[in-house]
């Protein structure tokens, strides 16, 4: 399995996303990000959210995304249109 640093392409395939999510969820505890520095694309975002929901099946979870990249509009906030990468946080209820 490739690490995030080895993924130079913006588009990740479904198997890479699924394996990355599964391994991260097995290790994660508390409120820290389960995935960090995922290359930003709408397809990656959709696939990550879909795979997380599939992993948790019927459990109630909140999936939050933190955008990473330049902060040209405000020094304290990142917005989606400026994102280069994103982090994913999962909270179970």
* 40 within domain boundaries: yes
* 3 within domain boundaries: no
* 43 within domain boundaries: yes
Strand-pair category, 35-39 with 61-69: unpaired
Confidence bin at 18 (pLDDT 50/70/90): confident
State which residues form the domain around 41: 10-83
* 1 within domain boundaries: no
Report the pLDDT averaged over residues 43-48: 90
The rounded percent of the chain whose pLDDT value lies above 70 is 78
Residue 60 has pLDDT above 70, yes or no: yes
* 4 within domain boundaries: no
* 38 within domain boundaries: yes
Report yes or no: 66 and 89 within 8 Å, Cβ to Cβ. yes
Number of domains in the chain: 1
* 22 within domain boundaries: yes
Q: In this structure, what token pair is assigned to residue 57?
A: 């099946």
Quote the CA–CA distance of 66 and 62 in Å, as a whole number. 13
Q: For the packed helices 42-56 and 14-27, what is the interaxial angle rounded to 10 degrees?
A: 50
């Amino acid at each position: 399995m490739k690490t995030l640093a080895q993924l130079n392409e913006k588009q990740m395939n479904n198997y890479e996303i699924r394996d990355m999510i599964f391994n991260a969820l097995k290790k994660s505890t508390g409120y820290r990000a389960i995935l960090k520095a995922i290359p930003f694309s709408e397809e990656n975002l959709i696939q990550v959210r879909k795979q997380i929901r599939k992993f948790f099946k019927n459990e109630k979870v909140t999936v939050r995304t933190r955008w990473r990249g330049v902060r040209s509009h405000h020094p304290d906030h990142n917005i989606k249109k400026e994102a280069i990468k994103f982090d994913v946080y999962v909270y179970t209820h």
